[in-house]
Chains A and B, each alone.
Chain A
Amino acid sequence: MNKIAVMNSQELGESTFTTTLSDGLEVYICKKTGFSKKIGMFGTKYGSVDNDFIDITTNKRTKVPDGIAHFLEHKLFEKEGANALDLFSKMGVSSNAYTSFDQTVYFFETSEKFDESIAMLVKLIKEPYFTDENVQKEQGIIGQEISMYDDDPNFMVYFNALRAMYNQNPVRIDIAGTIESISHITKELLYTCYNTFYSPQNMFFIVVGDVDVEHTINLIEENLKKYENNNLPKNKIEKFRVKEEKKIAQKEIVQKMDIYLPQLCLGYKLDLVNGKEILKNEIVVNIISDMYFSKQSDFFEKEYNLGKVNDSIDMIYEGSDSFSHVIISTLSTNIDEVEKDILEYIEKIKNMPVDEEMFEIIKKKKIGEAILSSDNLNVSYRRIIDSILNKTDVYDQIEVLKSITKEDIKEFLNKLTTDNQVSSKIISK
């Protein structure tokens, strides 16, 4: 029997059960009573930034082409004589996957074929089938995916902001790579990445929905047992990270596209933090965004009435063990003036007292928001993935929220300095 631990959230009326299987795989089950849909996810702590590491089978340092983690995500769906997307679909189950900087996650959503879907998800991960031919075929499909991103101003303005902030850090690189870089991918390289990063101790399994906890854990374990013999070496994974200097790479990147409405992304590069500090920064920035940039703010009202901003001004924090930054983004036909206004305003609010009444209303809103969001199953798994990668507890969020003070807001604002600030713009041709 596996030892199962349980974490509860009184506020969300939700529990997450967790256990570690004998091969080292971490399993999380978030129980959502009454929901029809069940989501299963099998993920690895491996993403686009992990491009320089020790090949676990040869013990040699290896550098791999940009975009290979994402390419591997596509190719893992390929099974002998079939495609797993199609195999899921034939059961009436929808499946998909995504790759980001630090994770690759495969998932299914089903209401009636849960047991079969767990088996299929395990098969998907455990039976790689890469051939020269199917690697070549995928280059065409991913080529179109890359072209799609190239035409997407939203996507480009964000990535250019990262490129402006970071000098060496591989977050600068497109997750899908380039048409050129993916042409160097071979089936051998795919196996190298697979063998190194898809071992149980680097992976996690998440289930969200109205399921029986013990049954689910047994089901996952039984399915994994079929592959006991082809388990990969359990050596510690060794990654090489380029040392990223403190200063920004470039003050500004401006790109022209065939669009009507220009886009702006301001970035502030910050010091790395870890664990609960990442979560705290996320929530602090969320509150700052609500207080100073949302439709409730004087600033938004002014910019809106002047016709400079139409939709919203969004501010988020993104952090991991290799990056830490704030992104402020908006769209405007008058992008240079909006940029100037935001930068001046940030200097101004650093010296202003934090409005007590507004701060309390926003905290109240945040609690309501967390409760409202629990009607959506996707929020539950995102919370679990964040907690795995940040090494925090699943339900730390509300506790951290309650602990945040006006001083935290003030302190954070003072980290947003001119030296570490960059601008990215997409303008019309």
Chain B
Amino acid sequence: MNIYKVNNNKFKSIYISYNFTQEVNDTKIFSSYAVLASLMAKSSKSYPTQKDIEKYLNSLYGANFDVNIEKLGDLYNLEFRIEFVNKKFIPSKEELLEKILLFLKEMIYNPAQWTQDVFKREKDFILQRINERKDEKLKYGIQRAEELLCKDEPFGTYLYGEEDVVKNLSLKDIKDAYSTLINDSITVIVSGNLDGYDSIDSEIEKIFKQYDKNFNTNIENLKYNIKRQENYKYEEVKEIQDTTQSVLSLGLRIKECTPKDFYVLNVYNAILGTTPSSKLFQNVREKESLAYTVRSRYYRFKDIIVIYAGINKENYKKALDVIKIQLEDIKNGNITDIEFKSARDSLLADLIEWKDSKVAMAKMKLSNLIAFKDADISIDQMREEIKNVKIEDVINISKKIEVEKVFLLGGEIDE
């Protein structure tokens, strides 16, 4: 079992993240794991209902517990996480650590005997998640661009799975998923104020020792980026929805890059569309008044970028043109020193600010472990790498970036 610690005494609490990470051989697991995670968050043998869990957590000074599912590129990660107050700050100085660890162990390794009723209820819970996804237009527009880019790759599956698969799940499928889960690679990250908790790792090891066996694979060896090149072609897709505003999203592919390009791609993305000085904000919003929201997002694990904007559907063609001009502009080397510097400085500032969040620090460790095979890279080292990026590096990488998918969500277009 790998345990990583991030200590900072400015916090008053401790956050423990217990991750099971696996490769996805069959996208059906999105459906079964979503139901499994939902069941595990709400029951165990000793705490059979949500009510029992909440009541116990409240008695531990409002400790926060939940089960989170996420895609880390093409990997699937199921995370048990808990946050609790460091004893120094509790009026009675009550020690919570052992209770917290035993609770975590109970929730992970002592699952309830799920009845058909309970199982059906959680299936319905996940089905609703799947059906309601279009209710958040902007988010849905972004997800559709991701899915178009990563068709037939695990990352291109919706996090909560597919309606037909969920409907046909049996209780046995969930039990099988659980048996696979507990053999997945485990990574534990502890982040927060560890003052007075010098031996927290050995306490975790002691309590979880019996589950620390030969795992299927080590997290560093997992393949997080699968490429189905037959899908790499230009496409425009429209979906009709009866809304006031339309959402335009563009899927960009970054060809031939390596994990080390992470830094230059971050700078590229910041110049393109993450700050008010960025090309998209300055042109699509400020100059042309086409949008209130316009941004770009870089996906470290998948070598893709998604641009999204909320627009008036009559402006579809114009907005698309203005966005494409910005991409060309960067390729042609039209990046001013100020644009470059402000992009870089905003990234440097973001990195420092991660230090103020227990959760962000834990996430960074896990991401670096997967992509760089190294969890010990510090924020300062990452900042140095960003500082070393040159304008020419950005121009060079921009030539490997192409718009591949265009998605429009909204009313009908008169063409």
Residue positions of A touching B, CB distance < 8 A? 11, 13, 32-37, 83, 85-86, 88-95, 109-113, 137-145, 147-148, 150-151, 153, 258-261, 290, 294-298, 300-301, 304-305, 307, 310, 331, 333, 358, 361-362, 364-369, 371-372, 374-375, 377, 429
- B289 in the interface, Cβ–Cβ < 8 Å? yes
**A147-B244, A260-B131, A372-B12 are known contacts. Are A92 and B51 too (CB-CB below 8 A)?**
no
CB-defined contacts of A259 to chain B, threshold 8 Å: 132, 134-135
Q: A83-B276, A94-B275, A148-B292 are in contact. List 20 more A-B contacts (CB 8 A).
A: A11-B91, A34-B8, A34-B9, A86-B276, A89-B275, A92-B342, A93-B349, A94-B346, A110-B349, A111-B353, A139-B289, A141-B289, A144-B312, A147-B245, A260-B131, A290-B58, A295-B50, A307-B121, A307-B124, A371-B61
B275 and A144 contacting across the interface, CB-CB below 8 Å: no
What mask results when residues 160 to 172 of chain B are scored 1 for a CB within 8 Å of chain A, else 0? 0000000000000
What mask results when residues 325 to 368 of chain B are scored 1 for a CB within 8 Å of chain A, else 0? 00000000000001001101110110011011010000000000
In whole angstroms, what is the CA distance A11 to B92 when docked? Answer: 11
- B55 in the interface, Cβ–Cβ < 8 Å? yes
CB-defined contacts of B290 to chain A, threshold 8 Å: 140, 144
**A91-B345, A94-B275 are known contacts. Are A310 and B135 too (CB-CB below 8 A)?**
no
Nearest Cβ on chain A to B324's Cβ, whole angstroms:
20
| Nearest B-chain residue to A153, judged by Cβ | B135
| Nearest B-chain residue to A296, judged by Cβ | B54
In whole angstroms, what is the CA distance A275 to B123 when docked? Answer: 47
Nearest Cβ on chain B to A209's Cβ, whole angstroms:
9
What mask results when residues 58 to 94 of chain B are scored 1 for a CB within 8 Å of chain A, else 0? 1111111000000000000000000111000111000
Q: What class of interface size applies to chain B in its complex with A?
A: 35 or more
| Nearest B-chain residue to A93, judged by Cβ | B349
B62 and A365 contacting across the interface, CB-CB below 8 Å: yes
CB-defined contacts of B345 to chain A, threshold 8 Å: 90-92
Most chain A beta-carbon neighbours within 10 Å: one of B12, B57, B131: B12
A150 and B135 contacting across the interface, CB-CB below 8 Å: no
B59 and A361 contacting across the interface, CB-CB below 8 Å: yes
CB-defined contacts of B64 to chain A, threshold 8 Å: 372
**A90-B277, A109-B353, A261-B128 are known contacts. Are A365 and B244 too (CB-CB below 8 A)?**
no
CB-defined contacts of B57 to chain A, threshold 8 Å: 365
B353 and A36 contacting across the interface, CB-CB below 8 Å: yes
A141 and B58 contacting across the interface, CB-CB below 8 Å: no
CB-defined contacts of A113 to chain B, threshold 8 Å: 349
B51 and A258 contacting across the interface, CB-CB below 8 Å: no
B245 and A150 contacting across the interface, CB-CB below 8 Å: yes
B310 and A88 contacting across the interface, CB-CB below 8 Å: no
Which residues of chain B from 40 to 62 have any CB-CB distance to chain A below 8 Å in the complex?
49-51, 53-55, 57-62
A369 and B51 contacting across the interface, CB-CB below 8 Å: no
A90 and B62 contacting across the interface, CB-CB below 8 Å: no
- Complex A-B: 29 CB contacts under 8 Å: A13-B12, A33-B10, A34-B8, A36-B352, A37-B353, A37-B356, A89-B342, A90-B342, A92-B346, A92-B348, A93-B349, A95-B276, A141-B291, A144-B291, A144-B293, A145-B292, A147-B244, A147-B312, A151-B244, A258-B243, A290-B58, A298-B51, A300-B51, A305-B121, A331-B132, A358-B55, A365-B58, A365-B59, A429-B242
Q: Which of B83, B292, B338 contacts A372 (CB 8 A)?
A: B83
In whole angstroms, what is the CA distance A375 to B346 when docked? Answer: 23
B91 and A35 contacting across the interface, CB-CB below 8 Å: no
**A260-B134, A295-B54 are known contacts. Are A86 and B353 too (CB-CB below 8 A)?**
no
Most chain A beta-carbon neighbours within 10 Å: one of B13, B61, B83: B61
B85 and A372 contacting across the interface, CB-CB below 8 Å: yes
In whole angstroms, what is the CA distance A429 to B240 when docked? Answer: 14
A296 and B55 contacting across the interface, CB-CB below 8 Å: yes
CB-defined contacts of B243 to chain A, threshold 8 Å: 151, 258
CB-defined contacts of B84 to chain A, threshold 8 Å: 368
- B125 in the interface, Cβ–Cβ < 8 Å? yes
- B286 in the interface, Cβ–Cβ < 8 Å? yes
- B311 in the interface, Cβ–Cβ < 8 Å? yes
CB-defined contacts of B62 to chain A, threshold 8 Å: 364-369, 372
Q: Which of B90, B131, B346, B355 contacts A89 (CB 8 A)?
A: B346
> What 6 A-B pairs come out closest when comparing CB atoms?
A92-B345, A34-B10, A368-B61, A140-B289, A368-B62, A85-B276
In whole angstroms, what is the CA distance A298 to B51 when docked? Answer: 8
A365 and B61 contacting across the interface, CB-CB below 8 Å: yes
Nearest Cβ on chain A to B288's Cβ, whole angstroms:
8
B242 and A92 contacting across the interface, CB-CB below 8 Å: no
B91 and A375 contacting across the interface, CB-CB below 8 Å: no
- B285 in the interface, Cβ–Cβ < 8 Å? yes
In whole angstroms, what is the CA distance A346 to B245 when docked? Answer: 38
A368 and B341 contacting across the interface, CB-CB below 8 Å: no
Q: Which of A36, A298, A305 contacts B355 (CB 8 A)?
A: A36
| Nearest B-chain residue to A369, judged by Cβ | B62
- B282 in the interface, Cβ–Cβ < 8 Å? yes
CB-defined contacts of A304 to chain B, threshold 8 Å: 50, 121
CB-defined contacts of A90 to chain B, threshold 8 Å: 277, 338, 341-342, 345
| Nearest B-chain residue to A176, judged by Cβ | B292
B51 and A295 contacting across the interface, CB-CB below 8 Å: yes
- B119 in the interface, Cβ–Cβ < 8 Å? no
CB-defined contacts of B55 to chain A, threshold 8 Å: 296, 358, 361
In whole angstroms, what is the CA distance A295 to B64 when docked? Answer: 13
- B241 in the interface, Cβ–Cβ < 8 Å? yes
Most chain A beta-carbon neighbours within 10 Å: one of B49, B311, B356: B356
A301 and B49 contacting across the interface, CB-CB below 8 Å: yes
In whole angstroms, what is the CA distance A151 to B242 when docked? Answer: 9
Nearest Cβ on chain A to B284's Cβ, whole angstroms:
10
Which residues of chain B from 270 to 329 have any CB-CB distance to chain A below 8 Å in the complex?
275-277, 282, 285-286, 289-293, 310-312
CB-defined contacts of B51 to chain A, threshold 8 Å: 295-298, 300-301
CB-defined contacts of A86 to chain B, threshold 8 Å: 276-277, 282, 286
Nearest Cβ on chain A to B339's Cβ, whole angstroms:
9
- B11 in the interface, Cβ–Cβ < 8 Å? yes
What mask results when residues 225 to 260 of chain B are scored 1 for a CB within 8 Å of chain A, else 0? 000000000000000011111000000000000000
A150 and B342 contacting across the interface, CB-CB below 8 Å: no
B353 and A374 contacting across the interface, CB-CB below 8 Å: no
- B137 in the interface, Cβ–Cβ < 8 Å? yes
CB-defined contacts of A331 to chain B, threshold 8 Å: 132
Q: Which of B58, B135, B355 contacts A361 (CB 8 A)?
A: B58
In whole angstroms, what is the CA distance A90 to B342 when docked? Answer: 4
**A301-B50, A310-B125 are known contacts. Are A364 and B135 too (CB-CB below 8 A)?**
no
| Nearest A-chain residue to B64, judged by Cβ | A372
Q: Which of A34, A88, A364 contacts B276 (CB 8 A)?
A: A88
